[in-house]
Amino acid sequence: MLDSKKLKNIKLIVSDLDGTLLNGFNEIGKDSQTLIKALIAKGMRFTFATGRLHSAVEEHAKSLGLRTPLITLDGSIIKTISNEIIFESYLSRKHVKKSISLADYNLVNIALCHADAIYYTEHSPSVPQLIDKFGANFIEVDSLDNYLDETLEVVFAGDYKDSLKFIERKMTFPYTFGLDTSFYKSQRRGQFYFFEVRKHGSSKGKALERLLKYLKINIQNVAVIGDWHNDRTLFDTNAIKIAVDNAVSEIKSKADYITSRDNENDGVAEFLEMVLKAKE
Domains of the chain: 4-88+202-279 (3.40.50.1000), 93-199 (3.30.1240.10)
pLDDT in the model for residue 134 = 80
Are 37 and 64 within 8 A, CB to CB?
Answer: yes
What are the backbone angles phi and psi of residue 120, rounded to the nearest 5°? -150, 170
pLDDT in the model for residue 189 = 65
What number is the average pLDDT over the span 151-166? 95
pLDDT in the model for residue 217 = 98
User: Higher model confidence: residue 115 or residue 20?
Assistant: 20
- Name which of 180, 182, 279 is nearest 230 in CA terms: 182
Whether pLDDT at 190 is above 80: no
Separation between Cα atoms, residue 208 and residue 233, nearest integer Å: 9
What are the backbone angles phi and psi of residue 112, rounded to the nearest 5°? -105, 120
